[in-house]
Amino acid sequence: MRAYLPDYSFHRAKTLTEAFSQLEAGAKPFAGGTDIMVLLDAGALPPDNYFDILAIKELQGIRSTKKALSLGALTTYSEIRNHKLIQSNFPILCASAREVGAIAIQNRGTIGGNIANSSPAADLPPGLLVYEAQINLISKRGLRTLDYTKFHLGYKKNELQKDELIHSITLKPEFQKHHHFWRKVGSRRSQAISKTMIAALAKVNRKRIEDIRIALGSVAPTAVRCLEVETFLKGKILSPSTILEAKKILSRDLHPIDDIRSTGKYRLIVSQNMLEEFLCGIG
């Protein structure tokens, strides 16, 4: 490990009240640590004060009512992939949780941590975007709710204020009649960080697209909902030329870059091809 541990402080907050006072003192929350520990090991995590929120009951667990499903910020990837209601109503979330790191990471990593870290390569955000999730943030000031689409502001930037924690994610199970499509392209079949990934939903009635939602990850500073393509495709009957046009429009929503994992060009072309794969599958 390339870090000198005595330069870091680490506390455990057992209640939200304790967590709020930690935030007030400028400490940083730790919700599983699967991103933070990588940085710490590499000596790339600046010495600071951290507090563990894993023991806070209000932020744990999945709660369901008839109208909605609420995923506490501390819900792990394993809990997501094993949950019956998520499997039947939000299969993309299960599929994407299954492709995060390895089992040990899935047992440890949390949806709140994944979202708060705001990496464009995070696996859950594209699914949350197409399911039009809502995100609930909590602070001493109370609870506030945002459309998840509004949460991410840029590379590693989000709506979370200094005194706030992610409380939960709310999902409405209204996609039983939709096609659900997920594909992640990583550098290998497991233990891979994505190069590009697509989450997509579509409801087709007599070959005509009634509803369509498309989101991609790893191809822009944040996961992106591809509204231009959606608008273009809504109401259309799919044909080879429509698909070709959709692929062209898609490139306007994406801003892929060259980095250590792939090239911008590869990300763009493969994203277009995955859109085509999705559209061919619903037509």
7 counts as binding another protein under rule CB under 8 A: yes
At closest approach, how far in Å is the CB of 194 from another protein? 12
Can residue 199 be called a binding residue for another protein (CB under 8 A)? no
Is position 106 an interface residue for another protein (rule: CB under 8 A)? no
Q: Kindly tell me which residue out of 191, 207, 210, 235 binds another protein, with binding defined by CB under 8 A.
A: 191
Question: For another protein, which residue of 64, 221, 261, 282 counts as binding (CB under 8 A)?
Answer: 261
Rg of the chain over all Cα atoms, to the nearest angstrom: 19
**Contact with another protein (CB under 8 A) among 4, 26, 162, 176:** 4
9 is a contact residue toward another protein (CB under 8 A): no
CA distances from 82 to 73, 76, 106, 117, 181 (A): 16, 10, 11, 23, 19
Nearer to another protein, 165 or 275 (CB): 275
Site size toward another protein, by CB under 8 A: 31
Encoded amino acid at 32, one letter: G
208 binds another protein (CB under 8 A): no
* Residue 65 in contact with another protein, rule: CB under 8 A: no
Give the shortest CB-101-to-another protein separation in angstroms: 9
- For 197-256, give the DSSP string: EEEEEEEEETTEEEEEEEEEESSSSS-EE-HHHHHHHTTPBP-HHHHHHHHHHHHHH---
Task: Find the shortest distance in angstroms from Cβ 279 to another protein.
Answer: 12
- Residue 196, judged by CB atoms within 10 A of its CB (0-12, 13-18, 19+), counts as buried
Closer of 41 and 210 to another protein (Cβ): 41
Among 25, 43, 239, 252, binds another protein (CB under 8 A): 43
Rounded CA-CA distance 78/173 in Å is: 20
Examine residue 82 and tell whether it contacts another protein (CB under 8 A).
no
Q: Which one, 249 or 269, has the nearer CB to another protein?
A: 269
For residues 210 and 181, give the distance between their C-alpha atoms in angstroms, rounded to a whole number. Answer: 16
Structure tokens at 219: 């191809």
Pairwise CA distance, residues 207 & 282, whole Å: 8
Can you tell me which of 26, 189, 206, 241 binds another protein, judged by CB under 8 A? 189
Q: Which one of 146, 273, 282, 283 is in contact with another protein (CB under 8 A)?
A: 273
CA distance 263 to 256: 8
Q: Chain centroid to CA 73: how far?
A: 12
- 38/143 with CB nearer another protein: 38
| One-character DSSP codes across 46-67 | PP-EEEE-TT-GGG-SEEE-SS
Q: Which spans of this chain sit near another protein (rule: CB under 8 A)? A: 1-7, 38, 41-43, 185, 187-193, 260-263, 265-266, 269-270, 273-274, 276-277
